[in-house]
């Protein structure tokens, strides 16, 4: 696989793609629908990413984490999720860009001494590696688990964002989304033709608004994905996939609850019951 390079038309900055489709192999994945109670109400919108300018959360989401030079979007995305958990409870983000590159080495086989190993990665392998070995080289910051989210069910996508503060998208971007490249924050990605398998990319959803659009972080930008775009591109028929991650890192050290008000005991029990469920 050749990782595609994109160039911002105004600044000239480069960005990389790099999400590979998971190999077609039998795999039993926990489903978010089994974790979440559809009977419980959720708010019409969330506000997790309203970080003050200059805060660690604001700075973290402007950092591309190596994805300007490497096809490490799957690793950068996972670290952006993890950083959001800390920022959402008012704590400093404890990671840095080198962590994304080190994770790319461990989870995707990248070797800095051999540029030909910059081949991207598939999301299931990256998340499994984080669950087993952690986000840091010392084994710290493991996720407790991850589950599949139904991209054709907008309510389920919203619930995952509200309850777990993230969705982790794997998409084959239509070419119109990146040609031309988004000029800055606030762009909208709507239905724009067929998905392009050569435009494999990982983006993370961190908020949603009342019209259903999901705010994603990608290449240091905040972009809105419309409900129609999610329904078209975040589904297997379009080579799309969606997951949600959970970790005790989402808990405030002061309140022992996440930004969404959930405690560790209930979420740990739910994920324990999910392990091996299909």
Q: How far apart are CA 139 and CA 107, in angstroms?
A: 13
User: How does residue 277 score in pLDDT terms, banded at 50, 70 and 90?
Assistant: very low
Element (H, E) at 253: none
Whether 272 has a pLDDT exceeding 70, the answer reads no
Distance CA 66, CA 78 (A): 13
What would the pLDDT profile of 189-242 be if each residue is shown by its tens digit?
Answer: 999 999 999 999 999 999 999 999 999 999 999 999 999 999 999 999 999 999
What is the reported pLDDT for 275? 56
DSSP H or E run through 33 = helix 32-35
pLDDT, tens only, 1-16: 678 999 887 788 899 9
Tokens coding 110: 């990248």
Confidence (pLDDT) at 26: 47
Residue 89 to residue 106: CA distance in whole angstroms? 29
Tell me how far apart the alpha carbons of residues 95 and 97 are, in angstroms, rounded to a whole number. Answer: 7
Q: Report the residue count for the chain.
A: 278
Tokens of 115: 């540029």
Find all residues with CB under 8 Å of 105, minimum gap 6, and list them: 111, 112
Residues 18-28, mean pLDDT to the nearest whole number: 74
pLDDT value at residue 165: 92
pLDDT in tens, 31-45: 777 766 556 788 999
* pLDDT for res 256: 74
pLDDT (0 to 100) of residue 265: 77
Q: What pLDDT, in 10s, does the model give residues 99-154?
A: 999 999 999 999 999 999 999 999 999 999 999 999 999 999 999 889 899 999 99
Q: What's the pLDDT at 259?
A: 75
Q: Which CATH architecture has domain 27-34+43-272?
A: Alpha-Beta Complex (3.90)
- What pLDDT, on the 0 to 100 scale, is given for residue 80? 97
Distance from C-alpha of 256 to C-alpha of 262, rounded to nearest angstrom: 9
Does pLDDT of 273 surpass 70? Answer: no
Tell me what pLDDT residue 171 has.
98
Q: State the Cα–Cα distance between residues 169 and 167, nearest whole angstrom.
A: 6
What average pLDDT score do residues 255-265 get? 74
pLDDT-derived band at 90 (thresholds 50, 70, 90) equals confident
| 68-84: pLDDT as tens digits | 999 999 999 999 999 99
Domain ranges of the chain: 27-34+43-272
Averaged pLDDT for residues 162-186: 93
Question: How many other CB atoms are there within 10 angstroms of residue 269's CB atom?
Answer: 10
């Amino acid at each position: 696989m050749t990782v595609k390079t994109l160039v911002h038309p105004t600044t000239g900055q480069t960005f990389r793609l790099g999400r590979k489709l998971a190999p077609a192999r039998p795999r039993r994945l926990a489903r978010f629908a089994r974790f979440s109670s559809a009977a419980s109400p959720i708010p019409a919108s969330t506000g997790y990413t309203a970080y003050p300018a200059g805060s660690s959360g604001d700075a973290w989401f402007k950092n591309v984490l190596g994805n300007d030079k490497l096809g490490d979007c799957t690793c950068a995305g996972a670290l952006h999720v993890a950083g959001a958990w800390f920022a959402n409870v008012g704590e400093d983000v404890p990671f840095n860009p080198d962590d994304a590159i080190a994770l790319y080495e461990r989870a995707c086989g990248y070797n800095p001494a051999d540029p030909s190993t910059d081949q991207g990665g598939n999301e299931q392998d990256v998340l499994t590696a984080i669950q087993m070995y952690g986000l840091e080289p010392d084994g710290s910051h493991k996720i407790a688990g991850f589950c599949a989210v139904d991209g054709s069910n907008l309510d389920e996508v919203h619930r995952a964002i509200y309850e777990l503060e993230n969705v982790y998208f794997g998409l084959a971007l239509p070419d119109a989304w990146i040609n031309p490249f988004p000029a800055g924050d606030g762009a909208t990605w709507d239905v724009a033709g067929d998905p392009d398998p050569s435009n494999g990319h990982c983006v993370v959803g961190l908020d949603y608004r009342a019209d259903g659009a999901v705010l994603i972080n990608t290449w240091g930008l905040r972009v809105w994905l419309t409900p129609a775009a999610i329904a078209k591109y975040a589904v297997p028929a379009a080579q799309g996939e969606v997951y949600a991650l959970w970790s005790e890192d989402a808990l405030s050290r002061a309140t022992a609850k996440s930004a969404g008000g959930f405690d560790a005991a209930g979420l740990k029990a739910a994920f324990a019951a999910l392990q091996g469920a299909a």
